[in-house]
Amino acid sequence: MIRLKSYALGKWIEGAGDIIPLFNPVNGEKITEFFSDGLDIKAILNYARKVGGANLREMTFHQRGRMLKELAQYLMTRKDEFYPPSYQTGATKIDSWVDIEGGISTLFTYASKGRREIPDGKVWVEGNMEMLSKEGTFVGQHICVPLQGVAIHINAFNFPVWGMLEKLAPTLLAGMPAVVKPAPVSSHLAVKITEAIIDSKILPEGALQLILGEPVDLLDHLTNQDVVTFTGSAATGQKLKSHPNIIKNSVRFNLEADSLNASVLAPDITTDMEEFNLFVKEVVNEMTSKAGQKCTAIRRTLVPANLIGDVTEAIKERLVKIKIGDPSDKETRMGSLGGKRYAEMLNEKIELLKNSLEVVYEGNEKFENKNSAFASPVLLKCNDPLNTSEPHEVEAFGPVNTVMPYETIDDAIKIVNLGQGSLVASLYTTNSDAAEKFILECGSYHGRINIINKDCAKESTGHGSPLPHMTHGGPGRAGGGEELGGIRSVLKYMQRVALQGHPTMLTKVSGQYLKGAQYKIDLIHPFRKYFEELEIGETLISPRRTVTETDIVNFAGISGDYFYAHMDDIAARHSMFEKRVAHGYFVLSAAAGLFVHPAKGPVLANYGLENLRFTKPVYIGDTIQAKLTCKRKTYKEKRQPEDIPNGVVEWYVEVVNQEDEIVAVYSILTLVERKEDN
């Protein structure tokens, strides 16, 4: 038997202290062991800050995004190695697929979103420039910079791969190193995935460390530059969050806790509708996947009072068919709990619930191995949910669910909110009015609301599946924190800074042109330059063009746009314009004609147009001129070896009239060829 080691300070460390054995919850056999302590936590944190943080901050956002993509591709080539140890956590093949390949897909998502939604650079320019002075010589701009600390990720036992990677992805993308502490009972799988990550040599030195055991001083050495994320029980999370050093140094602490999530069958659904079967199927799925050990699992099932019998019978029919057993058996539909300790805790909570609730189904399977951690699904019924507190306060973390009747949608909303905050609620309905009412009244109590009917069910990922694009977290009992949510989560590991100064200075600091900054005019047309040759702030001021009636008439004929303000003298005279105006899109087209270079060159294509505003009408006889400024540059990697190397250049465009008044402002994106293929 190989003893597990921590990975810290750039090497694998065995540790010291008490030996913690790790048992297979399926058969009770000992898998491995590891030491409880013996790590120099202060040195580990300093190593992350000084080595890992420095290395990551040397990279741009897009370089870090490409790093995540490369890591995800590498882990996918080794995914089959992670399934056997996953079965040893009690997870079935489907459970393991969600954990392993779902976790890797999160890396892919952040790799993509980071390169598409964050500008390429070392600081993130957030929002628009703020005018703080009359003449525009003193302006403001928000930017975000990586924190110069370390992120401590304390993960739950039930998703050792996904739980690790869904936190690592935004952390590394932000430019912050991480120290991961897995839950003891599934730490062998966390070590396995970490070994693969370290073997890949894709992450820079110090970017990732993994510590096993229960280091008592883990939170003692944190500073205001550090972040703690915790997933698990609310009681443990609250205890850690109130640690004196966390409070003293205002350490960012993100708590995501288990909650009493609800699923509601709306009053408009009847037993003969497809939504009825979808609802029942999902309740059973959430009870049995991961043996109900999910922070997002459905704990409370709300149905119209007249359907309580139909729903309970339909759920029972499905539960009877669920095969419980060895996760490696392809016929198994529900594996074991995470360990004997979790089974004992589950039984205690079930007994508490039984004191006030009716048992509808309790299973009849006999588990011969006394050292295993199997549990039968338990379905309970609460006849008076508005006046019974237990189902809204006691969480049995396993395959346990309570069915509750309600009379009106208002009653259902009250019952759902008795959970005092949860990660997710789902509503099965075809009635948009009911959905709107539910969202308005329940939204503030939930981090996510799933609205399901037959139109979206086929592609729905289900009640209990957090997605990297959407926020995962919730108020109150759910911990009050947020994870994921696309780029939103990257900001958890960055500091927002409000910059104030002259536009020229802020342009140089941020790496993005700001209106009013000094610009450079070159004799060479910017469309004749390769990507590397263009400079931020480089500007072209175009020739002028006078707009004629013929221009307007011709454009109307080409476009088919005969709107009265362009073509009808009398109607235009009585409009807000007082006389005929040129088409806005003619102005846009005419401006392009003024600043483009006709010859073949490094500009490969127009990639898009953003933030277009027509700020002042252009009349017959007005003279327009365009000002084109290089605002931002983004390296773009090749998808195929034969592709032309290129990058995206964003140009800030202002079109002015003869009075130097801005008549149109927008950004255009062009694909520009690179000289170098690297």
**Domains along the chain with CATH numbers:** 6-258+488-495 (3.40.605.10), 261-478 (3.40.309.10), 519-673 (3.10.129.10)
Mean pLDDT to the nearest integer, 437-463: 90
Mean pLDDT to the nearest integer, 339-359: 90
For the cut 90, the answer to whether the pLDDT of residue 428 exceeds it is yes
Share of the chain above pLDDT 70, in %: 100
CB neighbours of residue 172 within 10 Å:
30
Whether residue 319 contacts residue 333, with contact meaning beta carbons closer than 8 Å, is answered with no
Whether residue 657 contacts residue 623, with contact meaning beta carbons closer than 8 Å, is answered with yes
pLDDT-based confidence at residue 135 (cuts at 50, 70, 90): confident
**pLDDT at residue number 249:** 93
pLDDT-based confidence at residue 678 (cuts at 50, 70, 90): low
**pLDDT at residue number 329:** 84
pLDDT-based confidence at residue 525 (cuts at 50, 70, 90): very high
Largest CA distance in the chain: 93
Conformation bin of residue 450: beta by default, left when phi > 0, alpha when psi is -120 to 50: beta
How far is it, in rounded angstroms, from Cα 415 to Cα 435? 16
Mean pLDDT to the nearest integer, 406-411: 93
Of 422, 258, 462, 475, residue with least CA distance to 346: 258
144, 282, 286, 295: the catalytic one is 295
Of 592, 623, 303, 279, residue with least CA distance to 451: 279
Token couple for 146: 């990586």
pLDDT tens-digit map of 36-86: 888 999 999 999 999 999 999 999 999 999 999 999 999 999 999 999 999
Whether residue 372 contacts residue 332, with contact meaning beta carbons closer than 8 Å, is answered with no
166, 256, 275, 483: the catalytic one is 256
For the cut 80, the answer to whether the pLDDT of residue 378 exceeds it is yes
pLDDT tens-digit map of 631-645: 988 888 777 887 888
| Angle subtended at Cα 263 by Cα 262 and Cα 264, rounded to the nearest 5 degrees | 120
**pLDDT at residue number 572:** 87
Mean pLDDT to the nearest integer, 237-250: 91
- pTM tops 0.85, yes or no: yes
**pLDDT at residue number 1:** 65
Whether residue 42 contacts residue 221, with contact meaning beta carbons closer than 8 Å, is answered with yes
CA 68 to chain centre: 14
For the question of residue 295 being annotated catalytic, the response is: yes
